[in-house]
Amino acid sequence: MPIDNGDKLPQQSFIIASDNGPKHVDFNELFSGKTVVIFGLPGAFTPTCSAKHLPSYQKNAAALNAKGVDKIICMSVNDAFVMQAWAKSQDISDDIIMLADGNCDFTKALGLELDGTKFGMGTRCQRFALLAKDGVVSRIFIEQAGEYKVSAAEYMLANI
């Protein structure tokens, strides 16, 4: 069953890209005492993710911050090097943290895995967006298969 409003995010460490390569980041560093938007997507460099999803958060980062969001996290089942290369190719600023869930551990703990084997992609992340305050989900929006509506930055802005 997928994570829901009122649920605590699973506590674990994460991997993000840095100028010195992959960096382990503790759960508390990202979430404790903070209001965070996480948007998850099936994969870096994929069509909808690159043309719409990631750009929507880049374009609306300041508006989200103005509504009290401390951090914006883009999460995908890719490795940190892929996430870093994707961020560079999309000219993503430091306003968005590119979080690698290479082993799909966080995605599975959220209950948001997607079977992409039919497309040669293995297990991936469903498209979603959530708002968490101090590590507790206050809003979550999970897309239906093949859709891109409720996980867009514009939808999040209208619903927080």
14-158: CATH topology: Glutaredoxin (3.40.30)
What band does 98 get if pLDDT is binned at 50, 70 and 90?
A: very high
The residues spanned by each domain of the chain are: 14-158
Q: What is the pLDDT of residue 17?
A: 81
Q: What is the pLDDT of residues 101-153, one digit of tens each?
A: 989 999 999 999 977 778 767 677 899 999 999 999 999 999 998 899 999 99
The answer, yes or no, to whether residue 16 has pLDDT greater than 70, is: yes
> What is the pLDDT averaged over residues 9-35?
89
Lowest mean pLDDT among 40-44, 72-76, 102-106, 117-121: 117-121
Q: What is the pLDDT of residue 134?
A: 97
Q: What is the pLDDT of residue 159?
A: 95
Count Cβ atoms within 10 A of the Cβ of residue 159 and give its class: 0-12 exposed, 13-18 middle, 19 or more buried. Answer: exposed
State pTM to two decimals.
Answer: 0.93
Q: Are 155 and 61 in contact (CB under 8 A)?
A: no
Lowest mean pLDDT among 35-44, 80-89, 91-100, 116-125: 116-125
Query: Could you give the residue numbers annotated as active site?
Result: 49
